[in-house]
Structure 1
Amino acid sequence: MVFELAHIVILPGKAAEFEAGVAEAVPLFLRAKGCGGVKLHRTIEHPEQYVLQVQWSNVDDHMITFRESADFQEWRRLVGSYFKEPPVVVHTEVVVE
């Protein structure tokens, strides 16, 4: 299992619209091959910064299967206009619990 962590900075004053777009997009992720869940975290100290956390079976389910799908294009349509800059995406694995 891996976690996609997408660090997202949005345009000022667009939090409600962005969060609504993410909520609308959740089913797109959940029906994707290998997706085990999705969460959106807002940074308390910097409310225009978010971390999207998506659980995947493996990196390829995210980077190939999902990123090359129509659902990814719909995700970007729903939220992309709120991005202040391109998201920074990393993949992590749990090494200590």
Structure 2
Amino acid sequence: MLSRPGLDLRNRLPVHLPIGMVAVIVAIGMVRVLTQHWRQGAVLIGGALLVAALFRAVVPDDRVGLLAVRSRAIDVLCYLAFATLMIVVAWTITPPKLT
């Protein structure tokens, strides 16, 4: 079966786009952390891990680039676990009372 050029995800997606998008989200999160908004920054970094899990689950192996470390299932589970952990920790830590 022949596929038409331009319709296949492999032809349209540059190899460095998934890791680039994740890196941009992480950079924005780090800027938030460095400007004293660590909770928002941590949630953004957790969101970047969720985006990485989505890319790893959907994008073919030859186009996912540096997001592929191990098998697809292990990568997705690790990204989801770390994202969940980071977001939950950021939401549950309460600031200390200064009284």
Q: Same fold (TM over 0.5)?
A: no
Structure with greater strand share of residues: 1
Q: Which has the larger radius of gyration?
A: 2
Structure with greater helix share of residues: 2
- Relative contact order (alpha carbons < 8 A, sep ≥ 6): 1 or 2 greater? 1
TM-score normalised according to structure 2 size: 0.29
TM-score normalised according to structure 1 size: 0.30
